[in-house]
Structure 1
Amino acid sequence: MIAVIADDFTGAAEIGGLGTRFRMKVEIVTRVSIEPGTDLLIIVTDTRSKSREEAIHDIHLITAQLMKLKPELIYKKIDSVLRGHIIAELLAQMKVLKKQRALVIPANPHLGRVIKDGMYYLKDVRLHETGFGNDPEFVMANSGRIPSSDVIDILKFNNGYDEENFNIIVAKTDAPLPDKGIIIGEALSSDDLRLWAERIDDHTLIAGASSFFLALLEHLQYPYRKSLFEKPTAYFSGNMLLVCGSSFSKSKKMVAEVLAKGAPVSLMPRELLQVDGTLLSNLQDQWVADIISLFATHDHVIIAVDPGAVYASKEQGRNISRHMAKVVEKVMKRLPVQELVLEGGSTASSILHEMRLEKLYPQRELADGVIRTSVPGNTALHITFKPGSYRWPDSIWDFKS
């Protein structure tokens, strides 16, 4: 059995989708538990949305619990563009596992996300010059923008980097590796990922994005079947609620476009952006009523934040996730929803927490990172996940508009 610790639900689903390519029995859980015959156990910590102290505590506890299951490998799934408490979580995990070294490969070359000469690029553009440059998920001291695309600089700002406390380097595939510290591996291609996979050993904690996990499964020679992405329309039936919870510019642009075409889109009341939702249940109820009214004439409804609204802080993003979670839970109590489609990791985590779901089974990949899952004990409901910065399958938006 392979165990993966993922810091959000969309990342966990992405790893689960890869597991289905290798004919693995996959479970996604929010606490350490395992069913007989499971090949790939993915634990979602949601630590990217938590404080540094909470993240360290949770990773320490979950890693210790996982060790009792004696997995063949423990993989730490991180965000490919280095958001979250990456260094703090790695150090906590290394302490429990008694490992002096971690190898981290964040790049996703097939998506144009690469590290070259210590710099992070997205399709040949430096990361801080892309839409990630002002992403609220990046928590910077005194600034909402990434000041640099230097990998070490990004980790410094996100993790309170202190050179005296640990050693961190960026290394090429053929570089000699130190016995201690954290190594960020450069990668420009799938071949580079395979070279890094060949360098893993029992003395090193392994971490990275989804592409490196795929390279590891290939290196470990799991039986592989070719990935054939399947159209959502082949499976989606009944009422579908599509929740756009990402602040990423491409997502907001798509919402604006389908809204202009007259698609059934219900926007969050702007007042909910400004205040704590616990005091505004009446506004939430008004939003629920609007969504229900759209379902009276449509099978598929989109909910989103007004694409013209500005919410540049992480706390505002958390408030949006909490509001959406409350509203989705209320909608699903009032009418049957067969397909729940969630965009954005923090939004997905908030909604599943509100629904009290602790386990999911990945079923199919619909596109890169877009994974449809089933729910234990509820054959009528399926939940599909998509990271905020990934592309939607065109067919989802075609039959929405």
Structure 2
Amino acid sequence: MPRLAIIADDLTGANDTGVQFAKYGLRTYVVLDALQNPILPEEADVVVFDTDSRASTASQAFDKVAVVAEVLRNKQVPMVYKKVDSTLRGNLGSEIDAVLDVLDYECAAVVPAFPAIGRITAGGYHLLNQIPLACSEIARDPKAPVTDSRLVEVLKQQSKYAVGHIGLQEIITGSDAVCQAIGQAISQGHRLIAFDATEQIHLVTIAQAIKECGKKIVMVGSAGLAEVLPQIYNMPACNENSEVKVQGKPALIVSGSVSSVTASQVNAFVKQPNTQLIEVNGQELLNHSAKEIKRCIDEAAIALRQGRHVAVVSSNRADAVAESRQAGEVLGMNSIEVSDHIARHLGLIAADLVRVGVEGLFLTGGDTAVSVCRALGTSSMRVQGEVAPGIPFGYLHTGPFAGLKVVTKAGAFGHEEVIMQSLDVMLNQQGVNL
């Protein structure tokens, strides 16, 4: 029986939260397609379920999370963590509602801050690198834009339950003050309680207060809050030996993210020797899919066989994005359907290239990561460690390519050299017996 189950709304989020436990030695598995196959690996300490619900409607997201929560209730998993995006994208309110409706929790403590990567909450406002969300590129996210920087208001708009707020004054006073504030919020009928947090120590204080306050509270947060839980809840690591399986093949980078952060990371990658960029033309992918897929596979396969690391990316240039959307409109597709179409075909391209032979995958963008994994026939991943804060490293756990090394990264964060740093990890990391 796993000690902890995590419910996440996309794959990169599932991985970057799971890795917070894996790096303490806890056996951590990520389950894709959680609705069709909500497995609980017997050997797991931590299981992360990806409901793939970030871009779903609110009612669809509720239903997806409720299905997984029901499995966890029936299996009597002792502790559940609801993972949400550190930039508030997705259906936070309806997914939290589903957990509260199915599982026996008095309330939800909502702590999306992740100070280590520039996501903080202060005075109820959520900021990305000191910029309110509504003024950042998250407000222009093509699938899940966030246009209100106020955490409490975002939750009120999405949840059927009353929402309270605990600010920095209580948190910096200490866990006893937070315990008292939690009790007061519950007595006032608040089922969701939003927390400020601007430093890592604030997350520790909040987690400690939740543990000590004597209330049954489900923790809701990003990878930031998850990172402090192994120590707060004394989750001892297992002892497990690994076997070296270093092959020294080139790596494959696949990006479907339109984030400017990811674009700068790809640009830094292609400036390095022994690399090759394959830019997928979204317009051509819509109008002449087979031809564009073949072009990309043929060009990338040549580079891989020559020992070059290859990045297959969908262009994030404004003109290219506009052309793709216009091509989609002609075909009767909205912008979300266009993004899904591109992500799905990036998965097909990647699957063919993996068969050419690669040491590992660097996948950025949640939809892209899921599409690649599905195309490779894997239903779960094992998270092993961390390349950088919020950027996990692991292996495909099931399917014909089990054991293949994988790094996943959400689109909008990470330093400029993160792709090259990830390649170093993949090329030098020990493998495991799966």
TM-score tier by shorter-chain length is 0.7 to 0.9
Could you tell me which residue of structure 2 aligns to residue 228 of structure 1?
A: none
1:68 aligns to what SS in structure 2? helix
For 1:149, give the aligned amino acid.
S
Any residues of structure 2 matched to 1:155-304 within 5 Å, and which? 155=155, 161=158, 165-172=160-167, 173=171, 174=178, 175=181, 176-178=184-186, 179-200=189-210, 201-223=214-236, 237-256=248-267, 258-259=269-270, 263-272=275-284, 275=286, 280-304=289-313
1:367–1:393 Cα contact (<8 Å) kept: no
Matched, 1:47 2:50: no
Shift of residue 399 of structure 1? 9.9
Q: Which of 369, 386, 392 is matched with 1:371 structurally?
A: 392
Query: What is the letter of the counterpart of residue 373 of structure 2?
Result: L
**Structure 1 residue 338 and structure 2 residue 349: aligned?**
no
In structure 2, list runs of 5 or more residues that go unmatched.
172-177, 239-244, 326-334, 424-434
Distance in 1 (CA, whole Å) between partners of 2:271 and 2:26 is: 42
Deviation at 1:283, TM superposition (A): 2.1
Q: Does 1:76 align with 2:76?
A: no
Q: Distance in 1 between matches of 2:354 and 2:421?
A: 24
CA contact (8 A) 1:366 1:393 kept: no
CA–CA distance in structure 2, aligned partners of residues 67 and 310 of structure 1: 43
Equivalent residues in 2 for 1:346-361, closer than 5 Å:
346-361=367-382
**1:61 to 2:70 alignment:** no
Q: What SS class does the counterpart of residue 310 from structure 1 fall into?
A: helix
Asked if the contact 2:203/2:224 (under 8 Å) is kept, the reply is yes
| Gap regions ≥5 residues in structure 1 | 140-145, 226-233
Shift in alpha-carbon separation, 1:266–1:7, aligned structure 2, 3 A: same
* 1:329 maps to 2:361: no
Q: Take 1:344 and 1:337, find their aligned partners in 2: how far apart are those partners?
A: 20
| Preserved CA contact (<8 Å) 1:253 1:307 | no
Letter in 1 for 2:150: D
Q: In the alignment, is the contact (CA less than 8 A) between 1:21 and 1:224 conserved in 2?
A: no
**Aligned partners of 1:99 and 1:205 also within 8 Å:** yes
- Aligned twin of 2:329: none
Partner Cα separation in structure 2 for residue 365 and residue 341 of structure 1: 13
Pick from 95, 102, 105: which aligns with 1:99? 105
Q: How far apart, CA to CA, are the structure 2 residues paired with 1:43 and 1:364?
A: 18
1:390 aligns with 2:413: yes
Q: CA deviation at 1:36?
A: 2.8
Contact 1:100 1:180 in 2 (8 A): no
The CA distance in 2 between the partners of 1:47 and 1:197, in whole Å, is 26
The answer to whether the 8 A contact 1:373-1:384 is kept is: yes
Identify if the C-alpha distance between structure 1 residues 202 and 398 changes in structure 2 by more than 3 Å, giving closer, same or farther: closer
Say which SS state the counterpart of residue 48 (structure 1) adopts.
Answer: coil
CA distance in 2, matches of 1:205, 1:16: 17
TM-score (norm 2): 0.79
- The aligned amino acid for 1:14 is D
Distance 1:212 1:316, change over 3 A: same
Describe the shift of the 1:193–1:244 C-alpha distance in structure 2 as closer, same or farther (beyond 3 A). Answer: same
State TM-score, norm by structure 1. Answer: 0.85
Partner amino acid, structure 1, of 2:378: L
Shift of 1:202: 5.0
Q: Among 333, 341, 345, which residue is 1:319 paired with?
A: 341
RMSD: 2.7
Cα gap change, 1:73/1:321 in structure 2, threshold over 3 Å: closer, same or farther?
Answer: same
Look up the equivalent residue of 2:404 and give its one-letter code: L
CA distance in 1 between counterparts of 2:416 and 2:42 reads 34
Task: String of CA shifts for 1:211-232, please: whole Å, max 9, x gaps.
Answer: 111222221123479xxxxxxx
AA in 2 matched with 1:241? L
Does the 8 A contact of 2:347 with 2:371 survive in 1? yes
**Counterparts of 1:161 and 1:26, CA distance in 2:** 30
Q: Contact 1:322 / 1:347 at 8 angstroms: preserved in 2?
A: yes
